[in-house]
Structure 1
């Protein structure tokens, strides 16, 4: 653990009410990076002058007793400057203890150090021994003898000085007896850079619902268990807000760690060749804040260096958008290598990307209705707009609690006049906006061809009808022993990628935004010729179906075009047919010849209310599992035996 930091992770416990969903962040950065405590008469114009210049060159915001505003109460302004500083550099020089001002400042510094979270004290022993500071010996003896004989000084105050000196003298610090002062100044600056509170990440312009979720995540991290090294995996599909929640949590807790790093967009870093070297280099660069380290010939060199870096200090490491266990492997992520108290947060769409690493899960929750209304209103309007309440309600209902959808849609609406919003909304119902589709499709793109086919079956067929959502039924329908395809195993992959959910009553669910992403993927199979697509769900496209079609789903008979048996002859690869409507009129299917043969050898599921044929003699469907022909014209199934 960093010897200059506080001995406790949290000297003050925050009230839970301070975590405000509507605020930008509950953790405000101190105004000054460094407050310098020193004897001006002794070293103010020499060593301190060089130190101050070096700190300013390296972009530190500094303060000391010479920089207080004129005409104000000096003690209150001094106390304010101390409390508004993140780090305290206390420079002990031979004449330090002679300065009453220095000693009073030191008492205030140690009070602030013990009172506030994430404060750090850096003792600098300039030509004095740390033991002399602790015991008030050496050059400090004469000064304290004078203080004790000074009748104008309160003896209780002198004892406070002694206690503060003993306390700070017990901290590890940076000593200089004889040597290169310029080099020593650079050493101090470098140490402060390592200790400096990490730069706050931008979370979002409208942090609706983020505060409470960040608080839940922080609770799961169990920061009070200081000897524990813990991995927390944050799950959820693209666009649900995983990264946003983690950024907020990171900003709140990073100052409690000796070293913190947020490695963003790992999926993007790992594109292209040689990523197994590029990824460790990116992490090392952020951990060390250096870009000019020696070139690595292979990723093993990077793993070795990462191991050294994380084994020495308490680390907060965020690995964002991990989609493959090889990525963690290339970084050498192994909890046993981390220093006690470290925390590793991994955001991912796929549970399998954690491999064999033991972790605690955190499932990112969708926005509830109140949060969705709040967010969309903020995105769209300067203030509450009661004139558009119905419009807002409808958009929120369609967005399904996904922040990305609300954000992208709000941008799209704001580019048009209000009169156009209703028609735009109707368009969005059928075609997801590009940015939404791109983000949601990331999980789909990572699937194998077999899993992609299974996902599209669920999105375009099974998830439309509640009765087809039963897991046992779905498995029986899609199981294919000849090709060794067993959906009960494959579906778990989709669950791990947050694309589907299995409820306790064994029902399969899919978020409607994910389903619409699947429908859009099918639409893009052939935008000009819908009949060439693998799955049809538009009544206008049925007549144009070809052998490419594997499933048909229609949910209304209203204005259904006349469909001939000849049209179905073209769709010889049909596996799934769902006509789901209450109007069983038979005028929608034209029968030219009841002797027409239909070869549905791959058909597994057919629901056809008002089925118009009198028998199934001329329909080959030897693999069918579910056959639902409510209110049909059937007189008999078939003559003889079908195999």
Structure 2
């Protein structure tokens, strides 16, 4: 079958140049605190707010609204622009109409936005008192019920909001160490906090649409299963960038999310089989402190505990060897239902026997390539030469790396020199392009390296040029005397995204890959 990783997408010409924005923007504030100021404003809330600030949370409440503005509008805005809500129920809470109005607005936003979180804190009251408006709440609601100036429908909204929020998991303090309780509230908020968004790219051309396709492949609607998706593609085609964009969009809907980057580089250091699991534990727990593990098995056991009880989004980026996955003890059956694991790799065999759904990263089409190179080269520049850009786009073959490296290279010279520089680059790959693309070649065995270079030198397999019949290629390469039959070896090159076999049994290679091989020779 034709691996889409070396195929350009066919798109409608009405394709928009600008990428769609993420469907879930990060709110401005981390925490909005709902509480009765007269009751606990200068005591418990003061201590809680100080602890939140020390732990780098941004907070908001009714005392922090802009002066001289409509308070109702600004209060609604503050609630809507907050990610998490701490609702502190105290004995005098129900007597505060503002508290109850805020609570109705909080629950509206909680039901409206999937990523919003509410933590009820029961400060010297029982959850059942809040749920049924009894105990210290009963007298206050009797007064609300008999107040002729109050709309009975509004009072009913307050009752319903109290009932709904009291059914959420929360924290209760009747007696005990208040300082420790404050730290416990902060700890729970840290667990609930939406992960920091990853930086994707300064020029997200062609990223948004592929991120949506990847999200569709993840089948997030199937909440009762664990799914592994392997993202394939040649070096520097944009696998990591696309996965980062998808990660930012869907991470808020998971209990725990972790993007473990550059696994290939981590595994270049000594004792990586111990350091890699520690890096994953640090990522899953969001703790950067030094992790002490007596042995590798202890680390794997902790990873298993972390992923077994919460819905996890885990990205393993740049995996190039099954030993790397094995060292982490990754086994889908350990994960809590609804979890998703994404692995980016150049080599299909790096997942071993793990069952996965493939996603093949696409090359940029001509329109996207034109758009990206224009943004890279001509920011604020009206003197754009479409003919020059089209020639560069044609040579780049839809590979973002080539466009980015070449744009940086061209900008070091005067415009008059660009045509001659382009002619040079046609025959000699730029050093940075060569270095990145050669990673796939360097991972091959000596026998596979020789086969790859034979194909590069003796067959015209450049992308978008002539193709070769696969059967003829195998016949030409096999050596019966040496018992060399290249079918399996060629498939290994395919698995490493170095070559492509089309649906009609034709053999192709991306131009940039071929030029990389010729440069090695």
**TM-score interval w.r.t. the shorter chain?**
over 0.9
2:45 match: secondary structure:
helix
Q: Deviations over 1:299-346 (max 9, x none)?
A: 211111011111111111111000011111111111111111111100
How far 1:149 sits from its partner (Å)? 1.2
Match of 1:309 in 2: 306
| Post-superposition offset of 1:393 | 0.8
Answer whether contact 2:86 2:121 (CA < 8 A) is retained: yes
Of 23-32 and 162-171, more deviation after overlay is shown by 23-32
Counterpart for residue 402 of structure 1:
399
Q: Which residue of 1 aligns with 2:101?
A: 104
State the Cα distance separating 1:26 from its structure 2 match. 4.1
CA distances 1:232-280 after superposition (whole Å, capped 9, x unpaired): 0000001110001001001111111111111100000011221111001
Matched, 1:391 2:388: yes
Alpha carbons of 1:468 and 1:404: their partners in 2 closer, same or farther (altered >3 Å)?
closer
Q: Which runs of 5+ in 2 are unaligned?
A: 1-13
* Partners of 1:20 and 1:212 within 8 A in 2: no
Normalising by structure 1, what TM-score? 0.77
1:289 pairs with 2:286: yes
* 8 Å Cα contact 2:35-2:89 kept in structure 1: yes
RMSD over aligned Cα atoms:
1.6
Say if 2:516 is the partner of 1:520: no
Contact persistence 1:232–1:344 (CA under 8 A): yes
Q: Distance in 2 between matches of 1:63 and 1:366?
A: 45
**Greater Cα radius of gyration, structure 1 or 2:** 1
* More relative contact order, 1 or 2 (CA 8 Å, 6+ apart): 2
Could you tell me how far 1:383 is from its partner in structure 2?
A: 4.2
Query: Do the aligned partners of 1:20 and 1:211 also contact (CA within 8 Å) in 2?
Result: no
Equivalent in the alignment of 1:298: 295
Residue 179 of structure 2 is aligned to residue 176 of structure 1 = no
Q: 1:164 to 1:20 in 2, by over 3 A?
A: farther
* Paired residue total: 505
Structure 1 residue 463, shift from structure 2 partner:
2.9
> Distance in 1 between the 2:297 and 2:165 partners?
41
Partner of 2:408: 411
Equivalence for 2:110: 113
Mapped pair 1:440 → 2:445: no
Structure 1 CA distance, aligned partners of 2:383 and 2:79?
48
> Partner residue of 1:621?
none
- Contact (CA 8 Å) 2:410, 2:418: kept in 1 or not? yes
Does structure 1 residue 481 correspond to structure 2 residue 480?
yes
Q: Deviations for 1:443-476, whole angstroms, at most 9, x for unmatched residues?
A: 1111011111111111121135988721111111
Which residue of structure 1 aligns with residue 11 of structure 2?
none
- Alignment partner, residue 141 of structure 1: 138
Change (3 A) 1:244 1:44: same
Does 2:494 match 1:495? Answer: yes
Q: Distance in 2 between matches of 1:88 and 1:387?
A: 50
Between stretches 22-31 and 70-79, larger displacement belongs to 22-31
Deviations 1:152-205 (A, max 9, x none): 111111111110011010011111111111111111111111111111111100
Partners in 1 of 2:326 and 2:77 — Cα distance? 47
Distance 1:228 1:340 in 2: 5
| Alignment partner of 1:336 is 2:333 | yes
| Distance (Å, rounded) in 1 between the aligned partners of 2:446 and 2:48 | 62
Task: Tell me the distance in 1 between the aligned counterparts of 2:18 and 2:139.
Answer: 57
Quote the offset at 1:150 in angstroms. 1.2
**1:103-123 C-alpha deviation (Å, 9 max, x unpaired):** 110000000100123000011
SS of 2:221's equivalent in the other structure is coil
* Match status 1:29 vs 2:26: yes
Whole-angstrom CA distance in 2 between matches of 1:162 and 1:395? 66
Partner Cα separation in structure 2 for residue 85 and residue 124 of structure 1:
17
Q: CA deviation at 1:297?
A: 3.1
Cα deviation for residue 505 of structure 1 reads 1.3
Distance in 2 separating the partners of 1:404 and 1:95 = 62
1:463 alignment partner, SS class: coil
2:201 alignment partner in structure 1: 204
1:263-282 equivalent positions in 2, closer than 5 A: 263-282=260-279
Residue correspondence of structure 1 range 451-490 to structure 2 within 5 A = 451-464=448-461, 469-490=468-489
Structure 2 CA distance for partners of 1:468 and 1:391, relative to 1, 3 Å: closer
Measured in 2, the distance between the counterparts of 1:303 and 1:163 equals 45
Matched, 1:152 2:149: yes
**Structure-2 residue corresponding to 1:595:** none
Query: Equivalent of 1:67, from 64, 70, 75?
Result: 64
CA contact (8 A) 2:461 2:507 kept: no
Query: In 2, Cα distance between the equivalents of 1:265 and 1:218?
Result: 21
Match of 1:511 in 2: 510
Shift in CA distance, 468/69, structure 1 to aligned 2, threshold 3 Å: closer
**Aligned equivalents of 1:293, 1:110: Cα separation in 2:** 39
Tell me the distance in 1 between the aligned counterparts of 2:449 and 2:303.
36
Which residue does the alignment assign to 1:573? none
Change (3 A) 1:224 1:384: farther
For the residues of structure 1 that align with 2:482 and 2:87, how far apart are their CA atoms?
73
1:379 match: secondary structure? helix
* C-alpha distance 393-435 of structure 1, shift in aligned 2 (>3 A): same
Post-superposition Cα deviations, 1:465-517, rounded to whole Å, max 9, x if no partner, equal 98872111111111123433221111110111111110111111100011011
Cα distance in 1 for partners of 2:134, 2:222 equals: 39
Structure 1 segment 570-609 matched on structure 2, within 5 A: none
Change (3 A) 1:179 1:114: same
